Structure 1
Amino acid sequence: MEIVKRPVPPTGLSRRLWRLPILLYRLGLGALLGRRVMLLNHTGRVSGLRRQAVIEVVAHDGRGYLAASGFGVKADWYRNVMAAPEVTIQVGGRVLQVTATPVPAEEGPDIMARYASRHPAAARRLCKLMGYAVDGSQEDYREVGMHIPFVRFEPRQDRR
């Protein structure tokens, strides 16, 4: 695996296209996107305003939903949820109050390798987007997983 270029968040028209799924969620059509895409409602760490981002669900386990920050620790949504981890997500038609917690870096290789085995084409596209040239081997995906910050979104317990 080699790093081709550092990822740069989309701007202009490209950014608008990336944010198009937010419109589907706002129209109540989030279920059309399935369970592999989530709408993240979070608070801006500087502005304090409500923010939204659509991110891919890398995995869903018994503890919650896992997502990768393809643009690293400098991604706005990542920085926002690390500053204010009590957020709301919508996956399909389901809305959940969750707490965002960073996944320990040593778990990243296994998470990425499992994701790549389940979704090989999406894993190749994701790696390319992030600036990694992979040959499709599990070793490459495991190495990529060492460089990506993952976040687990765990449902909050009802506090009655």
Structure 2
Amino acid sequence: MSADRVRHRPELPRGRRRRMARLPVTFFRIGLGPLFGRRLLLLHHTGRVSGLDHHVVLEVVACDAESGHWTVASGFGPEADWYQNLRATPKTTVQIGNRHYAVTARFLNEDESGAAMARYAPARPRTARRLCAFMGFGTDGSTDSYHRIGRQIPFVRLVAEPGQLLP
């Protein structure tokens, strides 16, 4: 299949697979966030309907420590609850290791998303191939292919608020 179309919407994990997928959230909550280094972050997000606080662990696609932002991708597409919740309430917090940061979500456009995926794929080729397969995309492994695929995956840049390092 070409990179121009999604074959299927990935199915949300259920039962034991869901518990395993949620295990990193527990690790962050009990203070073991540093085990993940800078590769994963815990995103706090407010339910757009319930108003309740929710958490999800996401892989960091790109990080710029100097300017204070992290880029993440929604492997479940724009229908993912965390993504929709950030659309409704873009100001939130993230936890990297044991440090908390106040951030504002900025949603990348198609060209920016394509560029982010094209940069990510060479850095993490196996993970990039798995993400593409999970979402139903075929790829030949070229930068151009990843750029086309990235244009269809929602990417979010989480920008730290200046001087807003939380305790």
- TM-score, structure 1 normalization: 0.93
The correspondence for 1:51, drawn from 51, 54, 69, is 54
1:80 aligns with 2:85: yes
Structure-2 residue corresponding to 1:132: 137
Aligned to 2:109: 104
Q: 2:127 aligns with which of 114, 119, 122?
A: 122
- Find the residue that maps to 1:136 and give its secondary structure: coil
**Cα distance in 1 between the residues matched to 2:153 and 2:51:** 26
Asked if the contact 1:64/1:153 (under 8 Å) is kept, the reply is yes
Question: Is the counterpart of residue 16 in structure 1 residue 6 in structure 2?
Answer: no
Counterpart contact for 1:31–1:92, Cα < 8 Å:
yes
1:65 equivalent to 2:70? Answer yes
Q: 1:4 touches 1:133 (CA, 8 Å); kept in 2? A: no
Q: Which amino acid letter does the alignment assign opposite residue 15 of structure 2? A: G
How many angstroms apart in 2 are the aligned matches of 1:35 and 1:84?
24
Deviation at 1:67?
0.5
Deviation at 1:154, TM superposition (A): 0.5
1:29 aligns with 2:6: no
Q: Render the CA deviation track for 1:2-61: whole Å, top value 9, x for unaligned.
A: 544321222222111111100100110001011111100111001000100011110012
Structure 1 unaligned segments of length 5 or more: list them: none
Residues in 2 aligned to 1:37 and 1:85: alpha-carbon distance in whole angstroms: 19
Unaligned runs of 5+ in 2: none
TM-score, length basis structure 2: 0.89
Which amino acid in structure 1 is aligned with residue 133 of structure 2?
Answer: K
The runs of at least 4 aligned residues of structure 1 exceeding 2 Å deviation read 1-6
Identity across aligned pairs (percent)?
48
Q: Tell me the number of residue pairs that the alignment of Structure 1 and Structure 2 aligns.
A: 159
State which of 91, 96, 101 in structure 1 corresponds to 2:96.
Answer: 91
In 1, Cα distance between equivalents of 2:133 and 2:20: 18
Aligned residues: CA RMSD: 1.5
AA paired with 1:54?
A: V
Kept in 2: contact 1:40–1:54 (CA 8 A): yes
Displacement of 1:63 in angstroms is: 4.8
SS in 1 for 2:31: coil
Indicate if the aligned counterparts of 1:5 and 1:132 stay in contact, CA closer than 8 A.
no
